[in-house]
């Protein structure tokens, strides 16, 4: 029998439990993440960055409110991520959210802070309207500030935040050597890559000489598109650098071509022989691919000239990648006059892995060759090879010393913007591929795993037909079963209340 006193006792107990849960929830934050890539869980790299903060970091998020669901989820996910940062840092990361559209003053504040304005189409009162919107944040630590002008996807959020916090927190960046003196492009000619690398590295030009070894301040050195020969002494310095555990990225051209002359030929710099002694063979050839880019060819029409886009199979678009941190999340890389790569070695202690491949319809043309841009008629028989490797990596004892790493990319021009009026914008994936390779070699901060962090999508169409049918039936039955259960419970409780009301409580 339920008495008034026992009822009050139960209410007090429930209230006490709720108060205790509320207190504990304020002290201990916990959330479960069931996404395959742990998209909503902070990585070890992020935790290492924020646990070493010597003073608080303030994140001011400028996000427009009242947008359609397909935009508003970005704001909600960003806020949830900031909760994770605040909890993991034990309060050293604090954040505020500002709606720039509240007033002209807040919108001007967002614009002056460097937040990008984007126009979003929304429907109001059955009419399509355009609304100025903002999705960005300002990260501040002491007197240092970094801006995330535009947050576009959930997968990039943690990388951008952690990169900004590290950028304004690090006092001494690791040195990265860009080898010069053999006809390599300058740092200014690789503006996109240098801008990305400068966030986490102190990139320095490195001029080699005959007598001096590569300075020990460099953990990683980079060789890009040399056109002149490497002296034996310089190659020996590279061997000594590897022997001491140094890492090397080599992105070089084994062939060169002149489209105006319609001729392609080998390019010898000494690196090809040096790599061959380590088991890497970069072919003296041109790789062609059905999946390829276009170039503008000037053609005369009457008294005028027109630039006409022509597909050039010597410019393969690489879309096949190994499952490796360097290539994770990449969609396509545009290469030009690339060569093939292979590995032959009896040293089982050295690990080789190809990481980038052509399409299923490609081929190899040994140099020298004639290149007919306008008149060549390609056929199916011209593309008889599949997934030709064009980049790879080595791990192990590559010299007479410590274990190390090396990445070889068989095209040196894929990362060059050029200078002056001839500068061109590169595909973002080209830059990511290059920077990812350097991050993997340097292994300084662990942020490279965040650069391409994303969601693995699984639609119902990917399941077998019988499983799809079961899921559809289950989705239909579950709501019905819940309703039936609710009705049964309602009738049961109703009958029990009638029974209690019929009892005599006077005795």
The pLDDT of residue 106 is above 90: yes
Q: Which residues contact 231 (CB under 8 A, 6 or more apart)?
A: 210, 270
Q: Which residues contact 303 (CB under 8 A, 6 or more apart)?
A: none
Distances (CA, A) of 126 to 6, 65, 66, 123, 473: 56, 20, 16, 6, 35
Omega into 41 within 30° of 0, i.e. cis?
Answer: no
The pLDDT of residue 246 is above 90: yes
Q: Which pLDDT value is given to residue 496?
A: 78
Rounded average pLDDT over 403-422: 94
The pLDDT of residue 140 is above 50: yes
Q: Say if CB 314 and CB 257 are below 8 A apart.
A: yes
Q: Say if CB 252 and CB 243 are below 8 A apart.
A: no
Rounded average pLDDT over 9-36: 61
Helix (H), strand (E) counts: the chain: 11, 23
**What does residue 455 show for φ and ψ, rounded to 5 degrees?**
-100, 135
Q: Which pLDDT value is given to residue 460?
A: 41
Q: Which range has the worst mean pLDDT, 77-86, 115-124, 266-275?
A: 115-124
Residue-wise DSSP of 403-470: -EEEEEES-SSTT---SGGG--PPPHHHHHHHHHHHHHHH-SSSTHHHHT-------GGGS-HHHHHH
Structure tokens at 292: 């390829």
Please, which pLDDT band fits residue 462 given cuts at 50, 70 and 90? very low
Picking from 71, 105, 433, the residue whose alpha carbon sits closest to that of residue 249 is: 433
DSSP symbol at 124: E
Residue-wise DSSP of 301-325: ETTEEEEEEEEEEEEEEE-EE-SST
Burial class of 410 by CB neighbour count within 10 A (0 to 12, 13 to 18, 19+): buried
Burial class of 404 by CB neighbour count within 10 A (0 to 12, 13 to 18, 19+): buried
**pLDDT tens-digit readout, 387-406:** 999 999 999 998 778 899 99
Q: Beta strand pairing status for 369-370 and 362-366?
A: unpaired
**pLDDT tens-digit readout, 160-188:** 898 899 888 888 889 999 999 999 999 99
Percentage above 70 pLDDT, the chain: 84
Please, which pLDDT band fits residue 94 given cuts at 50, 70 and 90? very high
Picking from 156, 49, 147, 223, the residue whose alpha carbon sits closest to that of residue 452 is: 156
- Distance between CA atoms of 213 and 235, rounded to whole angstroms? 10
Rounded average pLDDT over 286-297: 90
- Distance between CA atoms of 497 and 347, rounded to whole angstroms? 83
DSSP symbol at 269: -
**pLDDT tens-digit readout, 347-364:** 888 999 999 999 999 999
Rounded average pLDDT over 443-460: 54
Domain 175-451 has CATH 3.40.50.880: yes
Q: Which pLDDT value is given to residue 365?
A: 97
Mean pLDDT of the chain: 86
The pLDDT of residue 459 is above 50: no
Q: Which pLDDT value is given to residue 458?
A: 42
Please, which pLDDT band fits residue 284 given cuts at 50, 70 and 90? very high
- Distance between CA atoms of 60 and 98, rounded to whole angstroms? 7
Residue with tokens 């952690």: 162
Structure tokens at 235: 């190659």
Any idea which architecture 45-169 has in CATH? 3-Layer(aba) Sandwich (3.40)
The pLDDT of residue 501 is above 50: yes
């Amino acid at each position: 029998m339920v008495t008034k006193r026992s009822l009050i006792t139960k209410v007090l107990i429930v209230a006490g439990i709720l108060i205790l849960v509320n207190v504990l929830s304020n002290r201990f934050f916990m959330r479960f993440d069931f996404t395959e890539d742990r998209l909503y869980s902070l990585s070890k790299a992020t935790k290492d960055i924020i646990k070493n903060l010597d003073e608080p970091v303030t994140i001011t998020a400028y996000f427009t409110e009242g947008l359609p669901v397909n935009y508003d989820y970005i704001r909600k996910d960003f806020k949830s991520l900031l909760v994770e940062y605040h909890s993991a840092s034990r309060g050293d990361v604090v954040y505020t959210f500002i709606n720039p559209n509240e007033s002209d003053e807040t919108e001007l504040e967002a614009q002056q802070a460097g937040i990008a304005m984007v126009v979003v189409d929304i429907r109001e009162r059955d009419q399509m309207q355009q609304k100025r919107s903002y999705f960005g944040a300002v990260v501040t630590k002491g007197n240092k500030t970094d801006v995330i002008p535009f947050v576009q996807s959930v997968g990039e959020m943690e990388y951008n935040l952690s990169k900004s916090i590290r950028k304004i927190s690090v006092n001494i960046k690791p040195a990265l050597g860009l080898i010069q003196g053999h006809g390599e492009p300058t740092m200014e000619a690789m503006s996109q890559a240098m801008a990305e690398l400068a966030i986490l590295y102190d990139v320095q030009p490195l001029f080699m000489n005959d007598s001096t070894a590569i300075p020990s301040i460099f953990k990683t050195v980079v060789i890009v598109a040399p056109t002149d020969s490497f002296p034996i002494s310089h190659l020996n310095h590279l061997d000594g650098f590897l022997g001491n555990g140094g890492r090397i990225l080599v992105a070089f051209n084994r062939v060169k071509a002149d489209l105006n002359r319609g001729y392609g030929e080998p390019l010898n710099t000494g690196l090809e022989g040096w790599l061959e002694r380590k088991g890497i063979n970069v072919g003296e050839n041109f790789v062609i691919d059905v999946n390829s880019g276009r170039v503008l060819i000037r053609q005369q029409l009457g008294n005028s000239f027109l630039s006409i886009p022509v597909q050039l199979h010597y410019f393969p678009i690489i879309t096949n990648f190994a499952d490796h941190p360097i290539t994770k999340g990449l969609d396509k890389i545009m290469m030009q006059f690339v060569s093939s790569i292979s590995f032959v070695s009896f040293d089982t202690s050295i690990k080789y892995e190809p990481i980038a491949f052509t399409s299923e319809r490609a081929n190899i043309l040994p140099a020298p060759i004639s290149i007919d841009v306008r008149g060549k008629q390609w056929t199916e028989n011209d593309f008889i090879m599949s997934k030709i490797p064009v980049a790879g990596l080595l791990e192990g004892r590559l010299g007479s010393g410590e274990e190390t790493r090396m990445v070889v990319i068989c095209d040196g021009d894929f990362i060059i913007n050029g200078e002056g009026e001839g500068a061109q914008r590169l595909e973002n994936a080209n830059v990511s591929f290059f920077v990812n390779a350097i991050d993997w070699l340097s292994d300084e901060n662990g942020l490279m795993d965040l650069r391409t962090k994303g969601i693995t999508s699984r639609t119902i169409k990917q399941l077998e037909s019988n499983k799809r049918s079961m899921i559809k039936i289950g989705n239909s039955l579950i709501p019905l079963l819940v309703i039936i259960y609710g009705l049964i419970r309602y009738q049961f409780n109703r009958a029990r209340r009638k029974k209690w009301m019929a009892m005599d409580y006077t005795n």
